[in-house]
Amino acid sequence: MDRNQKRWLWISLGFSVVVIVAVLYLTVDASTIVYLQQLKPFWLILAICTHLLALCFWALRIKFMSRSLGYKIGFFYSLNLVCANMLLAAVTPSAAGGEPVRIHELYKAGEKIGDATAIVITERILDGIVLGIGGAFFMFVLGSEWQRIGSVFSYLMYISWIVITAIVIIFLYSVKNPDLLKRMIHYTSKWFTKTWESTKIERFALSIDREVDNFHATLSDFLSRGKTGLIYGLLFTTLFWFCEFIIVSFLLIGLSQPPIYIESLIIQLVIAVISMIPLTPGASGIAEISFTSLYGLFVNSSILGILVVLWRSILFYLNILLGLVSSLLIVQREARTSG
């Protein structure tokens, strides 16, 4: 990890700690101590194991998607790159910033850079599809249970679902029609190239067209050759998000509180979308604030702060620790290879 990444890691940790301390200050009272004394370690361990299981499903997703393209990637190699990717995600804006690590590690395992890129991008699209379908399920199938959570919260869910669905639809359409993607990129780039010379803008526009064509060819090839991988990818993506979403309910049981499976799945869907917005490194601070605001509708305020601490300890601080260990293993491997 270079000096710049270390700085952003400390900034990310700082954002998270400041918000958590503020939440604890506002929520801890005499009842909190009673709940902590009743904490059931089994459920805390189960929550941790569930998160580790989710990471295993992520590794299996990469393994099977790679296999569909003719590459043999070991499970533990995939698991290590998943963990290493989480460290970079913690120091980049939003919680979705580890893609370069995954691409690099797949390339080092013998995959073509285009295939590795296509797999990683398709992973994000599968995330969007699962989250989008999950949102549609909660909105249109649960009926009265959905309406019970309140209008403000419902609007957040609607907006999150619309954003995810729109991104997936635009992406899928752009794969079939790359000219749309080119126009979108050209339009967006105008905001950053206003002061450039006309010749430089022209060269930049040509490079955009070339890279979009290369991307389109690579992704189309993956979608045609790797259909089996897409089925497995969709399965493991669903299992991954399900495991991540039920962790809070396990923590609530461990704090002698009733689980809120349905409401929790909806809340986690909203938080997942918010965490992908590039506002702070690793979505630190943002995730804690979103969690506190949304779970505060259903959870006793006396344990809300403790719940935030436990949740972030598993899904953020543990990720950083695993990422550091995995990154060290990669550095040692690279040193042996170069030596």
Model confidence at 254: pLDDT above 80: yes
Q: Which range is least confidently modeled, 101-105, 197-201, 310-314? A: 197-201
What's the residue count for the chain?
A: 339
Distance separating alpha carbons of residues 199 and 119, to the nearest angstrom = 35
Distance separating alpha carbons of residues 95 and 281, to the nearest angstrom = 7
What tokens appear for 108 in the block? 């080092």
Distance separating alpha carbons of residues 236 and 245, to the nearest angstrom = 14
Model confidence at 58: pLDDT above 80: yes
Q: Minimal CA–CA distance to 306: which of 31, 13, 42, 48?
A: 31
Q: Helix, strand, or coil here: 94?
A: strand
Confidence of residue 248 (pLDDT cuts 50, 70, 90): very high
What tokens appear for 247 in the block? 């962790």
The one-letter code for the residue type at 331 is: V
Beta strands in 47-190 (DSSP E): none
Q: Provide the 8-state DSSP code for 150.
A: -
Confidence of residue 335 (pLDDT cuts 50, 70, 90): confident
- Residue in the block written with tokens 């991540």: 244
Structure confidence at residue 246 (pLDDT): 92
Structure confidence at residue 265 (pLDDT): 76
Structure confidence at residue 274 (pLDDT): 73
Structure confidence at residue 278 (pLDDT): 61
Model confidence at 56: pLDDT above 90: yes
Note whether 94 and 272 are within 8 A (CB): no
Quick one: what percent of the chain has pLDDT higher than 90? 21
User: Which carries the bigger pLDDT value, residue 127 or residue 191?
Assistant: 127
Rounded to the nearest 5 percent, the helix, strand and coil shares of the chain are: 80, 0, 20
Model confidence at 17: pLDDT above 80: no
Task: Choose the most confident range, by mean pLDDT, from 14-28, 33-47, 214-228, 254-268.
Answer: 33-47
Q: Which range is least confidently modeled, 182-196, 298-312, 322-336? A: 182-196
User: Which carries the bigger pLDDT value, residue 98 or residue 278?
Assistant: 98
Structure confidence at residue 277 (pLDDT): 66
pLDDT average, residue stretch 179-184 = 71
Extract long-range pairs of 253-256: CB within 8 Å, 24+ residues apart.
253/40, 253/43, 254/39, 254/40, 254/41, 254/42, 254/43, 254/44, 254/46, 254/47, 254/310, 255/35, 255/38, 255/39, 255/40, 255/303, 255/306, 255/307, 256/35, 256/38, 256/39, 256/40
In the predicted model, what is the mean pLDDT of the chain?
79
Structure confidence at residue 87 (pLDDT): 81
Confidence of residue 271 (pLDDT cuts 50, 70, 90): confident
Q: Minimal CA–CA distance to 241: which of 97, 123, 131?
A: 131
User: Which carries the bigger pLDDT value, residue 94 or residue 7?
Assistant: 7
pLDDT tens-digit readout, 273-298 = 777 666 666 566 777 888 888 888 78
Q: What is the DSSP string of 315-330?
A: IIIHHHHHHHHHHHHH
Confidence of residue 51 (pLDDT cuts 50, 70, 90): very high
Q: Which range is least confidently modeled, 14-18, 110-114, 219-223? A: 219-223
pLDDT tens-digit readout, 147-173 = 555 555 666 667 767 777 777 777 777
Distance separating alpha carbons of residues 142 and 263, to the nearest angstrom = 11
Note whether 90 and 1 are within 8 A (CB): no
Model confidence at 24: pLDDT above 90: no
Q: Minimal CA–CA distance to 218: which of 116, 336, 141, 129?
A: 116
> What's the distance, Cα to Cα, between the start and end of the chain in Å?
20
Extract long-range pairs of 294-297: CB within 8 Å, 24+ residues apart.
294/153, 294/156, 294/267, 294/270, 295/248, 295/264, 295/267, 297/149, 297/150, 297/153, 297/263
Structure confidence at residue 211 (pLDDT): 65
Model confidence at 90: pLDDT above 70: yes
pLDDT average, residue stretch 50-59 = 96
CB count within 10 Å of CB 201 equals 16
Structure confidence at residue 302 (pLDDT): 84
Model confidence at 43: pLDDT above 60: yes
Note whether 95 and 312 are within 8 A (CB): no
Q: Helix, strand, or coil here: 143?
A: coil
